[in-house]
Amino acid sequence: MPVPPLAPSAVAPDGTRVFSLTAQEGTTQFLDGVDTPTWGFDGDLLGPTLRASRGEQVAVQVRNELPEPTSVHWHGMHLPAAMDGGPHQEVEPGATWRPTWRVDQPAATLWYHPHPHGRTEEHVYKGLAGFFLLDDPDAPDVGLPQEYGVDDVPVVVQDRDVAADGTLTTERAEVGILGSVVTANGVRGAHVPVTTEHVRLRLLNGSTARTYAFGFADDRTFTQVASDGGLLEAPVPTTRVQLSPGERAEVVVAMAPGERVRLRSFRPDLGRIAAGFAAGANDEFDVLELRAAATLEPSPEVAGALTALEPLRAEDATVTRTFTVSGREINGRRMAMDRIDATVERGATEVWEVRNLDLVPHNLHVHDVQFRVADIDGEAPPPPLAGAKDTVYLEPQRTYRLVMRFDDYADPDTPYMVHCHLLLHEDEGLMAQFVVVEPGDEAARVPGSGAGHHHG
């Protein structure tokens, strides 16, 4: 299995770590001997892994060599709204966008992908996505594998439908495209050579619609150590990790010399949905195979305590908001580029009560923050959902209370997004806009879709 290369960077005289990414057209062979037109960053498909440390100032020069506008959103990143890469920061063909921000959040597996209004599904489906890994040099060593590409391996799992002539097809179910060609880092039937007793997989659901339930063919127990926004407080032994689109999980797998085992996606538990077969609930896939060498280097034991999460408590919230998700609407309204749906004060802790009113899958991604799931229908979340999250699956007819704090950045002119990360749903309107303002301020009127086009 190919491992995305680490993106080169240069450190400017002022200490800023500068990356560059170019969105471009290419071709990829998903079917043997047949070329499929794809899009990628700095290549034919997907993109390099950006890596930075807590406390660093980073900048990315994003160049668009595609035939249409796109944008690049830093999914899971805490940063100013104007740097977020949402639909108001589109980059025209031939133009370059240069966001810069200071990394100030725990070590985590984040990712980047396009976010053009109404076109996100197609741009991600064609191949535009990559990892953005954050390190925290001050965090203690808790025994996790950390040699990139050797025992610490990022894996983006995606599905596509590919016609016999190589074209990507876009036949959609209600949830979007449910493809039969499942890839790991862009490759079908991938295998990962394992040379150490433990291997850490950073799993990303980079699909546009499909939810995966990852586990191993022999049903072995493995250990989840992190969720979207970083380490869990303690390792969670498990046999399944379920990820809806946009979610991440880091897992550590123990291997014996010479053994081979397949990572599979089993039937996901989507909750009380109608017609589950039409949402992928009956589908199972092989994703990749771990192949252990005849002798393995020793790995440290994973510590029993991984991190102390900063307190985020519902009782500290000064504002509670209610969000209903249904069809292609949040609170009964489709996304409008020129309408602000919520105004949040900087520094505020809020509870967002979110309910999926439908009998079909939805999930919810909130830009800028890492939230905590306080409870689901009044009950404490299961351990994998108790850590830092930016995207959460919404089972039908259940109420999720999310606690979040809006630190550091305020901008009355530029909104962040909150939306369903089933990208067809997002493109068709299941998205809302919020601004963070200084206490006492109000949102400015946000211009329409012409806003924020950067020309380089």
On the question of pLDDT at 278 being above 50, the answer is yes
Task: Say if residue 271 is in the same domain as residue 165.
Answer: yes
User: Domain containing 232: what range?
Assistant: 152-297
Question: Would residue 141 count as lying in a domain?
Answer: no
Indicate if 109 and 172 belong to the same structural domain: no
Helices within 87-167 (DSSP H only) = 120-125
pLDDT at 163: 97
CB 403 within 8 A of CB 374: yes
Q: Which residues contact 450 (CB under 8 A, 6 or more apart)?
A: none
User: Would you say the pTM of this structure is higher than 0.95?
Assistant: yes
Looking at the fold, whether 159 and 292 belong to one and the same domain comes out as: yes
Average pLDDT over residues 104-126: 99
Residue 454 counted as domain residue? no
The helix/strand/coil state of 183 is strand
In single-letter form, the type of residue at position 172 comes to: R
The total domain count for the chain is: 3
Asked if residue 456 has pLDDT above 70, the reply is no
| Mean pLDDT score of the chain | 97
**pLDDT for the residue 446:** 66
**184 and 236 share one domain:** yes
- Same-domain pairing of 159 and 279: yes
Give pLDDT tens digits for 367-413. 999 999 999 999 999 999 999 999 999 999 999 999 999 999 999 99
- In the block, tokens 């890994």 appear at 133
- Residue 239 tokens read as 């046999």
pLDDT in tens, 79-114: 999 999 999 999 999 999 999 999 999 999 999 999
Is 46 inside any structural domain? yes
Per-residue pLDDT tens over the stretch 195-217: 999 999 999 999 999 999 999 99
Mean pLDDT calculated for residue range 334-342: 97
Q: Choose among 434, 176, 259, 438: nearest CA to 330.
A: 434
Residues 158 and 248 in one domain: yes
> Is the pLDDT higher at 441 or at 343?
343
Whole-number pLDDT of residue 445:
72
Q: Answer yes or no: is 28 within a domain.
A: yes
CATH code of the domain in which 67 resides:
2.60.40.420
DSSP class per residue in 60-86: EEEEE-SSS-B--EEET----GGGS-S
Q: Which residues contact 277 (CB under 8 A, 6 or more apart)?
A: none
Is residue 99 in some structural domain? yes
